[in-house]
Structure 1
Amino acid sequence: MTAAGFPGSTVFCAMCKQQVPKSTWAAHSSTYDHRRREVVAAYKATFEEAERDKQGVEVRPVVGGLDFEIVELAGAQHGVHKTLVIRSTSALSRLTIVDINVSAKPSNMPCPFRAATQGGTRAIYNQGTNIVVTLRHDQRGRYAGRIEIVFENESHRRFVIIREVRATIGEAVEHDALKATTPYVKPQRVPWRRGQEIKLKFSRLNDCKPTVLKDGPTAGQRFNVHFKMNRIPLRRQHQALAATPNAASLPIVPFNPCIAGNAEQLQAIRSILQVRKGAAPFIIFGPPGTGKTVTLVETIRQILARDKEARILACAPSNSAADILARRLNSLSNTELFRFYAVSRRRELVPDDLLGYTYMDGQGHFSVPQVADLATFRVIISTCGSASFAYGVGLPPGHFTHIFIDEAGQATEAETMTAMKTITTPSTQLVLCGDPKQLGPIITSSVARELGMGVSFLERLMERDVYNERLWRGRTLVKLVQNFRSHRAVLTFSNEQFYNSDLQACGPARVIDSFIGWNELPNRKFPIIFHAVSGKDERQASSPSYFNLDEVLVGRDYIRKLKSDRRFTTSDEEIGDITPYNAQARKFREALKFANIGTSIKVASVEEFQGDERKVIMLSTVRSSKELLTFDAKYTLGFVANPRRLNGKNSLEHSGHDVDTLFAMNSGHHSGEGPLDLSIDPLWRRFLNYVALNNGWRGIPISWDPHAPVHDGGYENELREQGVEDITDFMQRMQNYLGDDDQSAHDIMEGQINADGVWRERE
């Protein structure tokens, strides 16, 4: 019985802990959530019953419990043991062990545990019979299993007692150094009324958040704290959106000789040089590693050489991408090129070689020269969000003959408008450079995403017929297809999934094949490793960010092996670790520092790698349990929620990486979630199949057939059905061994519900 009626119109559902109208009780009790809770409660009750000692039999470990805790990898490879002692409390009873079954949790995981009676003895005596439990495995991670011991009494009646077993394979010292220092506590909302005084306790603030006080508050001090959003970027976007804009073959001698033989790059440059004034924005569609920024820079130099009156504004969504533009234009003098930084930009974040292209006021803050001086620069470079400074300080609309926006697919449409709408006239030539298949704008508001703010101006334009790459090639856009940065194996998956197999691997062998033959590659000719780790998602203190120590330590080991291999000399600057969570990035840096290796390796999110070039990229997905993946999908976090993030990771095109070797690590919760739950996403499943079929897989074996065709969706139902099947199988086995003196699982479940439930509705 899962519900009780009350005087009145409602029924209390103890399973769901809520009042349900009597008229809808039948429908409520048949809902998926209600039935799932019933199954879980029944499973819990059956499990607890199976764990009880019964019929005069006691099962106890010799020392401690059946948690091996942290076992060194070398010890786990050799094998470590724990002992269970089984005693009969009745000297007259005759009991024997019929069977010992050991299974992994979940069932599709490899089981590193074994169990057998010591000396083969099966009879149970009151002095004790020993069962030796052995852990033997060669992979780091966290593992859980279940030991089912089947007994038979003198009446040939069978019953079962189960025990759970756990182990973590790794280094105890490192786990202790990197573990969560304080338990995670979910932040609580503080009720507030106008005029009410609220006490705030400040400790250190992480992730580059602004500090409240330089030296921190001291005991006894009181402050009036005002929280104020920086509205300047939003005001610039509103200003831009409200503004009304004022109503053959061309010989090229490239400054950069590397593009002389690239037909698509040359075509893009010719098209931009010949585009008529007032034409629609021209698009350089640049997939991974095809040199879109190189093309943009070459175009700017060609314009400057041909038109002495040209004035160019070049923008990018981030400072890192804008810095790359400025550095690649460093052939210009500091009287020709001006790099604008917002006044809030910290000087230590600006590359030293660009400081000469900036302007600072008397207090050492970044600023703007007088309008007359500003107008003399031939090229001005800024982020999109700050680009309207030129209009704000007095440069007139039409001052810039050309406006270039690099990585335009990552800018919101409002940011793009900020860069161009206030300062353009019908004669201004606009050029957008980017890839709508890559990372889109960063939108933190779900409401804004639902309203379409996650669609960039570049993507919206390319959905129009006039930008059809087959029909309008060379007139409104050019698609670059020659990739010079990635090994063919790294490029192939994204090429097939996103680019109609148009991309061509053209990189020199000495670069893209530089890690072919490395001993740690499962396939020496395939420079991609997917390492499946049995790990645990954790948080600490009040931080909402997740980390996974097991993935951290596996990744650290790969870096250690790479750095110690003299045949493949690799500097810290050639290695990058991408993870979507700040806590994981911090733990990875701590692990590298603790091991004193790779301390200069960049560890950051996909977006922060924009513009970087790395030979080796390591990806840590951190989270993969089904519940967390569902959360990520809702709020577009992690790598499952956004196919462009997988595209950006796999081909690293979001920044034009020079990728020779790619590591990907995926994990799952050690106590029940499969470590390969990323496979519920069809795109990820295709990528995992691609790696497995090319023998690039390591760690926990793949649990499905990689040869099977991938269909669009439904894999979460397969995992759910597998979980239900495991539960059903376990409960059936347990019920077969329940004796007459055992309380039924249903009775136990109902007793637990009654203990927790509130059965009387208070009037």
Structure 2
Amino acid sequence: MTFSRVLVDEAAQATEPAVLCALSHGCQQVCLIGDDQQLPPLVQSEDAQELKISLFERWRGQKLRVHLLDTQYRMHPAISAFPSQHFYNGQIKDGIEASDRPLPAGFNWPNQNMPVSFVNVSSRETSRGTSKFNDEEVKIVIAVTKRLLEGGDIREDDIGIVSPYKAQIKKITEGLDRNISVRSVDGFQGQERDVIIFSAVRANEGGYVGFLNDPRRMNVLLTRAKRGLLVVGDGKTLEKGSDDWNKWIQWVRENKLEQLRAEGTGTGLGRQAGTNSAQGHRQRGRGYRGRGAGRARRGRGHGWYQSKS
């Protein structure tokens, strides 16, 4: 059996031996499709960590010709703004208008023109075995989720909750008791939801952020949402522990997207008075093309690179 032409999808997540298996059957032309600015191959063995460098990334580093798919069709332009600038040197364009992704009702968005919010929580993390959780963030995530559902135009399967720690995922899942996807960043690679809520968990004096100090993982979590992105975390810890998070928080503040919450003061995250819910329904009627429109376009853009040789 021979394959003269080989097309490899998600090539930046595939180990080099896995791709070479496909190329060893008479391949004369190969096209690798992937994004090496997002998660690399998963390699658990400490003795094989060099396999985290995919063939895609290796060839790209050798200056092979690369074609950038430069138009994203998933995110509201305000959600894609920071990832495009920070991870892709401003090369990613928006293939949709803001009116195609109406502001989700039920949450008091700080900037009505930008469906992004950073809920800056003064809290403290707790260790559980090798994992960690943050009770204050759990309360806020659950409260925000319930408010969005009460808003009327977001359903359970429209929401994704993301956190880097299994203990936090477990606490949020138990507290919600709803059919909502709560997963790790790695578990959401390649997926999308209308609204993404991210719980950062880490909150400590030393600024230790662990898993969060990974620009590829950060890129993934910031680019899953179509209509609304909420990040819940301790600003001081994130700013101190990661240059990438520091820059994101500065961008948030420049655009007035930050909401401050002190530990023990309650969530205080009621829906915006008067206009938010009505505005969401009006926009849905005018310009929203439904879940199928966004999902049908999955894979047509959003910073994936296509390497050929």
**Distance of 1:535 and 1:416 partners within structure 2:** 45
Of 252, 258, 270, which residue of structure 2 is paired with 1:691? 252
**Distance of 1:607 and 1:407 partners within structure 2:** 14
Of 157, 165, 169, which residue of structure 2 is paired with 1:573? 157
Whether the aligned pair in 1 keeps the contact of 2:77 and 2:97 (CA below 8 Å) is no
TM-superposed deviation, 1:523: 1.2
TM-superposed deviation, 1:626: 5.4
Of 89, 98, 111, which residue of structure 2 is paired with 1:500? 89
What letter is aligned with 2:124?
K
Of 587, 598, 605, which residue of structure 1 is paired with 2:171? 587
Report what 1:647 is aligned to: 219
TM-superposed deviation, 1:691: 0.7
Runs of 4+ in 1 over 6 A off after TM superposition: none
Matched, 1:485 2:88: no
What letter is aligned with 1:613?
E
Closer/same/farther in 2, CA of residues 455 and 624 from structure 1, 3 Å limit? farther
TM-superposed deviation, 1:530: 0.6
Report what 1:522 is aligned to: 110
Q: How many residues align?
A: 261
What letter is aligned with 1:425?
G
Matched position secondary structure for 1:612: coil
Whether the aligned pair in 2 keeps the contact of 1:523 and 1:696 (CA below 8 Å) is yes
TM-superposed deviation, 1:496: 1.0
TM-superposed deviation, 1:434: 0.7
What does 1:220-259 align with in structure 2 at a 5 Å threshold? none
Closer/same/farther in 2, CA of residues 626 and 457 from structure 1, 3 Å limit? farther
Report what 1:412 is aligned to: 15
Whether the aligned pair in 1 keeps the contact of 2:132 and 2:165 (CA below 8 Å) is yes
Q: Deviations over 1:714-749 (max 9, x none)?
A: xxxxxxxxxxxxxxxxxxxxxxxxxxxxxxxxxxxx
Whether the aligned pair in 1 keeps the contact of 2:106 and 2:149 (CA below 8 Å) is no
Q: Deviations over 1:209-253 (max 9, x none)?
A: xxxxxxxxxxxxxxxxxxxxxxxxxxxxxxxxxxxxxxxxxxxxx
**Distance of 1:533 and 1:678 partners within structure 2:** 11
TM-superposed deviation, 1:417: 2.5
Whether the aligned pair in 1 keeps the contact of 2:105 and 2:154 (CA below 8 Å) is no
Report what 1:666 is aligned to: 233
Whether the aligned pair in 2 keeps the contact of 1:517 and 1:524 (CA below 8 Å) is no
State the structure with more CA Rg.
1
**Distance of 1:510 and 1:485 partners within structure 2:** 13
Of 198, 212, 216, which residue of structure 2 is paired with 1:619? 198
Unaligned runs of 5+ in 1: 1-395, 468-476, 594-598, 633-637, 653-657, 668-674, 702-763
Of 629, 633, 641, which residue of structure 1 is paired with 2:208? 629
- The alignment yields a C-alpha RMSD, in angstroms, of 2.2
TM-superposed deviation, 1:444: 3.4
Whether the aligned pair in 1 keeps the contact of 2:123 and 2:134 (CA below 8 Å) is yes
TM-superposed deviation, 1:628: 7.4
What letter is aligned with 2:26?
T
TM-superposed deviation, 1:465: 2.1
Matched, 1:600 2:179: yes
Report what 2:40 is aligned to: 440
Closer/same/farther in 2, CA of residues 603 and 453 from structure 1, 3 Å limit? same
Which structure's residues are more often helix, by fraction? 2
Whether the aligned pair in 2 keeps the contact of 1:576 and 1:618 (CA below 8 Å) is yes
Report what 2:62 is aligned to: 464
Matched position secondary structure for 1:659: strand
Whether the aligned pair in 2 keeps the contact of 1:411 and 1:456 (CA below 8 Å) is yes
**Distance of 1:412 and 1:523 partners within structure 2:** 42
Q: State the identity as a percent.
A: 28
Closer/same/farther in 2, CA of residues 416 and 441 from structure 1, 3 Å limit? same
Whether the aligned pair in 1 keeps the contact of 2:132 and 2:167 (CA below 8 Å) is yes
Whether the aligned pair in 1 keeps the contact of 2:106 and 2:147 (CA below 8 Å) is no
Report what 1:228 is aligned to: none
**Distance of 1:503 and 1:683 partners within structure 2:** 18
TM-score in terms of structure 1 length: 0.33
**Distance of 2:174 and 2:34 partners within structure 1:** 35
Matched position secondary structure for 1:415: helix
